[in-house]
Structure 1
Amino acid sequence: MSSTSNAPSTSSTAPDAQDKDLKAFDRWRKSVSWITGVGLTPDDHARRKASQDVEAEEAMWVRCEKWKADLMKNSPAVSFMLKHLQQAGCNLTTDHIHCQPCNMTRAGGFSPEKGILLCQDGFWSKSHMEDTLVHEMVHMYDHVKFKVDWKDLRHHACSEIRAANLSGDCKWSREIRRGFYTFSKQHQDCVRRRAILSVQQHPDCAGDSVRAEKAVNEVWESCKADTRPFDEIY
């Protein structure tokens, strides 16, 4: 009487093992292609780029929120502005400061209705964000303390002068990075230039640099001399 073995034969397992190896290799190959972009179809390239863009935006948002929280807690200039905003009747919290993607022409913004915008993809360092945050906080301070009429070009120009003057936005290292190497009246020239550029974006200017410069010149002396709430230029 012949006996029947229950052990699987070698011939029946080899194809299964080979199939598993091929599937593992295929997964590895696809993974490498996704990382490197080599061997992908046009549709795969589009999906890969979209995925990378989403991941990059998420990473920049996380970085922006982390830096924002640190600056709100540890920056002397930000803490100073928080205190004076509160004294002026504005209790600014992290909920009023929004990290969002922007176009690359700016680093931040202020809206009386929406609060402060930090352009998460526009910062090359935490100190850059600090200067931008203080800049926008000066706008908020002006809005609360001096009841700025943002439709008025002269009002807008005055706040832009003060924000550029007091925020650190025009310190020498920042100007060098922008490609300006002036040693005589560097700070003054920067404040004037950046105020004009900002006022140009006012709806009533529509990019008219002559009108923007006229508005800045009309309020220049009084607004540049006004360093409130700082005792001197930051």
Structure 2
Amino acid sequence: MDSASNPPTPSSSDASTFERWRRKFSMITGVGGTAEEREADMDARHHTKCEKWKNELMTYSPAVVFMMKHLKLNGADVSSDDLVCAPCDTNRSGGFSPEAGAVVLCQGKLMDKSHMEDTIVHELVHMYDHAKFKVDWNNLRHHACSEIRANSLSGDCRWSRELRRGFVAFSKQHQECVRRRAVISVRNNPACPDDAAAERAVNEVWESCFNDTRPFDEIY
């Protein structure tokens, strides 16, 4: 029988390579593949990038390394396992879970490595406060104080970050950003009944907490 009538069967490695390229093409173009496959591919790419940035920052970022050092001094020895890259269903870039003693980094919500650095430092300030000051997160004043410190010390409120958000101010820009973001965070606390309670909690602790830069010597 002529060999042309029996074309060679693709090897498993050829099929595997083809499938990888098919999935990649589908993810980039949106053509072919199921919505679930495209979502899974995107999550995998976001997770890989998140892990890469996280490990680089934990090794080379002065601010992240500094916070990890001071957390260890206060009984919270942070490892890579304590910073978890995961998909999030909100617009937040990260969060701290007091119950788990861990930080969630919202893969896919982080614009670049600098944004991740600010997010990690922000959440590590919460972790530091939890370890050092025994924060009661259901107490709105406690929560407000930690949010003021985290927003002020992390780089979240630097001018360039605010500009990206569409907020431009030339007088007390940093303070306005810290206050606004702290109020929003406290308002999202399930123990907070309304906007007025969130604003009141932030106002009551503002002066002492904004001026408390521990463990930094000054605002980062």
Q: TM-score, normalised by structure 2?
A: 0.87
SS of residue in 2 equivalent to 1:52: helix
Deviations 1:124-159 (A, max 9, x none): 100000000000000000000111111100000000
In structure 2, what is the equivalent of residue 195 of structure 1?
182
Q: Displacement, 1:94?
A: 0.7
Alpha-carbon shift at residue 108 of structure 1 (Å): 0.5
Counterpart in 1 of 2:71?
A: 85
Distance 1:101 1:218 in 2: 35
Amino acid aligned to 2:173: Q
Structure 2 residue 89 is matched with structure 1 residue 103: yes
Structure exhibiting the larger radius of gyration computed from Cα positions: 1
User: 1:151 and 1:53 mapped to 2: Cα distance?
Assistant: 36
Q: Determine helix, strand or coil for the equivalent of 1:116.
A: strand
Among 161, 172, 175, the alignment partner of 1:174 is: 161
Displacement of 1:209: 1.7
Contact 1:77 1:134 in 2 (8 A): yes
- What is aligned with 1:126? 113
- Residues 61, 120 of structure 1: 8 Å contact kept: yes
Task: Check whether the contact 1:104–1:121 (CA below 8 A) recurs between aligned residues.
Answer: no
**Runs of at least 4 residues of structure 1 off by over 4 A?**
none
State the match for 2:48 in structure 1: 62
Q: Unaligned stretches of 5+ in structure 2? A: 8-14
Distance 1:13 1:220 in 2: 83
Q: How many residues align?
A: 206
| TM-score normalised by the chain length of structure 1 | 0.82
1:187 aligned counterpart, secondary structure: helix
Identity of aligned residues (%): 58
Equivalent in the alignment of 1:24: none
Secondary structure class of the residue paired with 2:104: strand
What SS does the aligned partner of 1:169 have?
coil
- Name the CA distance, whole Å, in 1 between partners of 2:90 and 2:165: 14
| Distance in 2 between residues matched to 1:105 and 1:214, nearest whole Å | 25
Task: Please state if 1:219 is matched with 2:214.
Answer: no
Question: What does the per-residue CA deviation read over 1:10-57, in whole Å, with 9 as the maximum and x for residues that have no partner?
Answer: xx777x37xx5xxxxxx99xx69x74566xxxxxx6x52211110000
Q: Which residue of 2 aligns with 1:233?
A: 219
- 1:166, 1:186 → 2: CA distance? 14
Letter in 2 for 1:157: A
- 1:57-90 C-alpha deviation (Å, 9 max, x unpaired): 0000011011110000000000100111011111
Residue in structure 2 matched with residue 150 of structure 1 by the alignment: 137
Structure 2: distance between partners of 1:54 and 1:103: 15
Q: CA deviation at 1:116?
A: 0.5
Per the TM alignment, residue 103 of structure 1 is displaced from its structure 2 partner at its CA by 2.1
